[in-house]
């Protein structure tokens, strides 16, 4: 396990090696940002959006929370809703990506809420995944632990995409034809990303690899 000294060394390397080589970029970003997407993903330390998407500073507006959850819109003060509103209404991002991942502790918590004893705030938060859990119980899939985790991870992404549709800025931007919503699942072990296809209701590899000899 690292220490604060490790972080201090990292900051020093950034200041002395990375920043000087990208000074012009940071000067441009100092007074404005125009991110291409709102990337809403889990707080899990193994998920690094800029690494997965090979993007840099200024490219992604990132919202992270346990379970990549989007609460249904309400008048309550919820930080996720503020991020969504600001990204779309103020920054005019053209894409929203809700990205789940393999081995997600929050999704395991949805599967086994009894194991979250003493974590009342976590239990309340994961209540936003109740609909995903209900769909898992109704989908007729295999009953083994890993299959259920695999399927619930994907159901959770789908349900959170539906929750996103309850947010007024999202609906307004979609009606204007300037916003596109995507659902992804990232596999930590393989590096594969799967994307949700609303036409088929399934997830498939993203981007699709061309078959050998296809000329694509």
Asked whether residue 2 is assigned to any structural domain, the reply reads no
Residue 139 covered by a domain: yes
Q: Which domain holds residue 124?
A: 32-206
Q: How far apart are CA 128 and CA 123, in angstroms?
A: 9
Q: Is 99 exposed, middle or buried (0-12, 13-18, 19+ CB in 10 A)?
A: buried
**5 in a domain, yes or no?**
no
Model pLDDT, residue 210: 56
pLDDT along the chain (216 residues), means of 10: 91 97 97 97 98 98 98 91 98 98 98 95 96 97 97 98 97 97 98 97 87 47
- pLDDT at site 77: 75
Q: Domain count of the chain?
A: 1
Whether 165 is covered by a domain: the verdict is yes
pTM across the whole model: 0.93
Asked, for residue 27, whether it belongs to a domain, the answer is no
> What pLDDT is recorded for position 212?
56
Instruction: Tell me the C-alpha distance between 145 and 4, whole Å.
Output: 37
Residue 82 lies in a domain: yes
24: in domain = no
**So what's the pLDDT on residue 134?**
98
Across 165-194, b (16+ Cβ under 10 Å) vs e yields eebebbeebbeeeebebbbbbbeeeeeebb
pLDDT of residue 211: 52
CATH number at residue 62: 3.40.1050.10
- pLDDT value of position 214: 43
Q: Provide the pLDDT for residue 96.
A: 98
123 assigned to some structural domain = yes
Residue with tokens 């009953």: 143
What is the rounded CA–CA span in Å between residue 129 and residue 107?
8
């Amino acid at each position: 396990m690292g220490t604060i000294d490790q972080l201090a060394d990292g900051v020093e390397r950034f200041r002395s090696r990375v920043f000087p080589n990208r000074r012009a970029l940071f000067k441009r970003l100092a007074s404005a940002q125009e991110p291409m997407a709102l990337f809403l993903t889990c707080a899990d330390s193994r998920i690094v959006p800029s690494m997965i998407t090979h993007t840099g500073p200024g490219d992604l507006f990132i919202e992270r929370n346990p379970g990549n959850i989007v609460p249904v819109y309400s008048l309550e003060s919820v930080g996720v809703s503020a991020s969504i509103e600001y990204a779309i209404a103020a920054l005019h991002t053209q894409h929203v990506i809700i990205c789940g991942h393999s081995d997600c502790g929050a999704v395991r918590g949805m599967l086994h809420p009894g194991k979250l004893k003493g974590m009342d705030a976590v239990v309340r938060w994961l209540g936003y995944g109740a609909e995903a859990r209900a769909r898992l119980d109704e989908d007729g899939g295999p009953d083994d632990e890993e299959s259920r985790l695999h399927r619930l991870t994907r159901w959770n992404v789908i349900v959170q995409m539906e929750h996103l549709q309850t947010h007024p800025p999202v609906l307004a931007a979609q009606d204007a034809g300037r916003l596109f919503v995507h659902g992804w699942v990232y596999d930590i072990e393989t590096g594969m990303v799967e994307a949700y296809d609303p036409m088929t209701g399934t997830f498939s590899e993203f981007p699709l690899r061309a078959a050998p000899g296809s000329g694509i």
